[in-house]
Amino acid sequence: MDTIIAGNTAYWTEALLKDTFGNDNLVICGADLKDKKIGRIKWFKVEPYEDRFKDLFSTYSFERAIYFSDYVTYQGIRGNEFEELRAFLRLCLNSEVKQFVYVGSDFVLDQVTRGKDIIFNAVEELIEYYDGKSQIDMKIVHIPYLVSGKVKDDYWFKVFDNLEVYSSYTFPCTEDSKGHFIEMSDLGTFLYRLFDKWDNEDFTITLKANANATYANATKLIKEKYPKAKVSYVQSDEKITHIEGDDIARKKYGWFAKIDVMENLEEHYKEYKSLGYHKPTLKDILKEKFKLKSKTMMILELIIGALIIELLVHMSSNTIQFRMIDFRLLFVVLIATVYGTGMGVVAALIECVSLAYSYYENGTNAILLFYDPGNWLPFILLLLAGAVCGYTKQKKDEEANFIKKQNESLIDQVDFITQLYEEAMDYKNQYKKDLIGSRDGFGRIFDVVKKLSTTVPEQIFAESIPVMEDVLDNQTIAIYTINDPNARFARLEVCSQRINNNLKKSMNLDGYEDILNVIKSGEVWFNSGLDEGFPSYIAGIVNKGNVSVLIMIYNAKFNQVGTYYVNLIKILSGLIENFIVKAWEYETAIAEKIYIEDTNIVNDEYFLEQLDIIHDMAENQRASFRLFKFDHDGRSLKELDEILRTKVRNNDLIGLGKDNNLYLLASQVDAESEQIILNRFKKIGLGISVVDSVGG
């Protein structure tokens, strides 16, 4: 089954996915994931509201969908869950999804009313709406908060991270509060049982936490791992008070949470430490603070640059050649060009202060500076230079960033489409392999057609048995022919090896009138009354309005009773009918080339061909035969033909060998019945003997 999991999916691991979903084809989608593939599991960095998410439903034929709420992460980051879920449900509605599960927080079931209840209720009302609108079986599973030491948005990851960096943490509860969390392994076990016993009942199911240990256990662990850490507690309205409800998970699915998270925190601490996180050193902090284009470096460059400019202005005040260079303007242009409008204006303001002070030193007081418009021009130019250069730089950066983002977006789309194409090709190849390899697939039917595609009726009968044994998974099959509409007996042509010694070579058709009428109507007769002596199923071939062939399927298994099996029989009998009728018509059309003129005796080439076919059937123990040689005593072929015409069965064959002797190929004759044939011809004075091969 193809399954898609979306939403808050970071908690899933490869091992847990395999344990929960077995050999299902899984697609995991999330904002924090990386595109990758391991076996039947694929991860995609995509969210339900993105256009790329729709492409997944075009590539895969999802039958099951699961959405994990952001609220199952305690104090996690909250996205626009309502819109995401609505987009997800719309796609499910227009696809082949049959089962939908929403895994949400049991916070909504708490007796205390909070503002978050509005969000929770809106989400659940949306699911109820789609449940009534669609044919999808939907369920809501309320769970305690999940926990992980590897998921960066997880509560306990943040706890350990704060302890590493700041050596302190404040829990939003009292020390004797119980931890309302659930292990992902316990949730995976429940989902496995839920899908294994899926039904249309129980729209909502609540999983209860194994919450016996308190936060005192967390404090103990923290003191062991961080001896210098400070742990404090404070009351919070997010504490779960009490949740009521019938324990359907235990009563119906035999599930209960085995692990108490507060007693298992050390395992999650090990998960956290396995990621290699450590407290940053002074070197790391300085490196981060003083890296290129950091805020610290910007401020330092601004201050140091302003001081250098003041020094240059002071040093060049008495130098004629440097009076042609405005260092203040140069500084503003450089800062604005490097850091943009904001820093450019700040640099311009600093230099305006510097310029005003320079005026003051030259004897220009504030009143003269303000009332003389000519003095305003340098200040305006400094601010204008900072604004224009900064704007130009920012515009260039924005255009470059826009093009870069577009390029990255296109690359992501190309990579995503390429990945989907590869997945589609893998699916195609896998389906092709499964189709050809399946017992009742079209590939196998094609193989059947190839084997039956011949113009020799006996060859078609010979190939039919192994083909039907394979497709129908039954080794008790027989084919009888009825050569005359008024005949009282049907002759055995070929049968499965297992029943070769138990079947009659001739079957009396008395009592088969109703069966023949069913076959004439194009249906398959089923032995619903378990009548003794009759097969489980009988199909047939109708030629010119009469039943010419009976296909008997004996000893059908219990799981082979039903419409599905009947349809398989119909398909196979229809294929056999198509080829055998055409073979008979072809044989009639080329009768002049097969039979010796004005006789029922076939030529040596055709006779040897039939001998090879029945010889192969005998070796596979699907038929028996005897080869007889006549002593013609000087009689001509026409004279022998007159004598033998009424003494030979319809399914026996008389042929001329290359040694010009006459032979009889008697089908379904064994050591016990060969003497009957010998006596029959000896009574009419015709010499006959059993031989192993045709002479000449």
Residue whose token pair is 């992980």: 148
**Mean model confidence pLDDT for the chain:** 82
Tell me the C-alpha distance between 93 and 131, whole Å. Answer: 10
**Which amino acid, 395?**
K
DSSP 111-137: SS--THHHHHHHHHHHHHHHHHHSS-E
SS3 143: strand
Tell me the C-alpha distance between 160 and 180, whole Å. Answer: 18
Contact 575, 449 (CB under 8 A): yes
Over the chain (696 residues), the average pLDDT of each successive run of 10 is 89 91 88 84 86 81 91 84 89 87 83 65 87 87 91 90 87 87 93 89 88 89 89 76 74 90 90 73 56 68 80 66 66 84 85 78 69 72 85 85 79 69 66 54 58 75 84 88 84 87 85 88 88 88 88 86 85 85 82 82 85 83 83 78 78 82 83 80 82 78
Q: What angle do CA 82, 84, 88 make, to 5 degrees?
A: 115
Residues 6 or more apart whose CB falls under 8 angstroms from that of 297 comprise: 290, 291
Tell me the C-alpha distance between 195 and 431, whole Å. Answer: 24
Round the CA-based radius of gyration of the chain to a whole number and report it.
45
- Looking at the DSSP bridge assignments, the partners of residue 543 are 546
Cα–Cα nearest to 688, from 658, 659, 665: 665
**Which amino acid, 530?**
L
Contact 594, 634 (CB under 8 A): no
Residue whose token pair is 């980051």: 77
Q: Which helix (H) or strand (E) segment is 344 a member of?
A: helix 341-361
Q: What angle do CA 299, 305, 307 make, to 5 degrees?
A: 105
What's the CATH number for 2-147+179-211+241-257? 3.40.50.720
Reading the block at residue 522, the tokens are 């194009």
Determine the distance from the C-alpha atom of residue 26 to the mean position of all C-alpha atoms in its chain, rounded to a whole number: 5
| Third-level CATH fold of 442-586 | Beta-Lactamase (3.30.450)
Reading the block at residue 670, the tokens are 């064994």
Q: Where in the chain is the domain with CATH 3.30.450.40?
A: 442-586
Contact 456, 493 (CB under 8 A): no
Q: What is the DSSP letter of 620?
A: T
Crossing angle of helices 215-225 and 265-274, in 10° steps, is 40
Q: What is the DSSP letter of 281?
A: P
How many Cβ atoms from other residues are within 10 Å of residue 116's Cβ? 16
Tell me the C-alpha distance between 251 and 418, whole Å. Answer: 47
Task: Give the ranges where 453-531 is alpha helix by DSSP (H).
Answer: 457-472, 513-520
Q: What is the pLDDT of residues 316-370, one digit of tens each?
A: 665 554 455 677 888 888 888 888 888 888 888 888 888 777 777 776 666 766 6
Residues 6 or more apart whose CB falls under 8 angstroms from that of 636 comprise: none
Cα–Cα nearest to 662, from 692, 677, 683, 641: 641
pLDDT at position 192 is 92
Burial-class residue 383 by CB neighbours within 10 Å (0-12, 13-18, 19+).
middle
% of the chain exceeding 70 in pLDDT: 85
Buried b (16+ CB within 10 A) or exposed e, 259-275: bbbbebbeebbebbeee
Q: Where in the chain is the domain with CATH 3.40.50.720?
A: 2-147+179-211+241-257
Residues 6 or more apart whose CB falls under 8 angstroms from that of 304 comprise: none
Task: Give the ranges where 277-340 is alpha helix by DSSP (H).
Answer: 282-289, 295-316, 327-339
pLDDT at position 287 is 58
CATH superfamily of 592-691: Reverse transcriptase/Diguanylate cyclase domain (3.30.70.270)
pLDDT at position 322 is 47
Beta strand extents in 366-446 (DSSP E only): none
Q: Where in the chain is the domain with CATH 3.30.70.270?
A: 592-691
Q: What is the pLDDT of residues 567-578, one digit of tens each?
A: 888 888 888 888
Instruction: Provide the whole-model pTM.
Output: 0.52
Cα–Cα nearest to 464, from 492, 494, 444: 494
How many Cβ atoms from other residues are within 10 Å of residue 316's Cβ? 15
Q: What is the pLDDT of residues 80-100, one digit of tens each?
A: 888 889 999 999 888 888 899
pLDDT at position 477 is 92
